[in-house]
């Protein structure tokens, strides 16, 4: 039975999601990952088989289906006036 690790809800639904992974300073986007999603808080979880397939995809010899350019921002807190 599903129980959310974040909010303890037992209500969930399944959907395909996208996740961004950063490995050795390189960014990867994996789309259409089947996930169990908490209906209360939106926490996503993946079964072991899915997790392993994504790991093999990113560390194996799979070829990307496309490439995209990503803008990168660095959050800088505002300095407080003295």
Q: pLDDT-based confidence at 7, cuts 50/70/90?
A: very high
Q: Against a cut of 0.85, is the pTM above it?
A: no
Q: What is the mean pLDDT of residues 14-30?
A: 95
pLDDT in tens, 36-79: 999 999 999 999 999 999 999 999 879 999 999 989 899 999 88
Q: Measured in whole angstroms, how far is the alpha carbon of residue 12 from the centre of its chain?
A: 17
Domains and CATH numbers, the chain: 12-59 (3.10.20.860)
Amino acid 82: pLDDT:
60
The first and second tokens of residue 76, run together, are: 């800088």
Confidence of residue 1 (pLDDT cuts 50, 70, 90): confident
Report the alpha-carbon distance of residue 13 to residue 29 in Å, rounded. Answer: 22
Closest CA to 46 of 21, 76, 77, 78: 21
């Amino acid at each position: 039975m599903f129980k959310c690790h974040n909010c303890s809800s037992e209500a969930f639904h399944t959907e395909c999601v996208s996740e961004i992974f950063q490995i050795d300073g390189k960014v990867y986007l994996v789309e259409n990952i089947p996930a169990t999603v908490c209906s209360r808080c939106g926490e996503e979880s993946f079964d072991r088989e899915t997790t392993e397939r994504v790991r093999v995809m990113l560390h194996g010899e799979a070829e990307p289906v496309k490439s995209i350019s990503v803008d990168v921002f660095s959050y800088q807190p505002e300095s407080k006036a003295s």
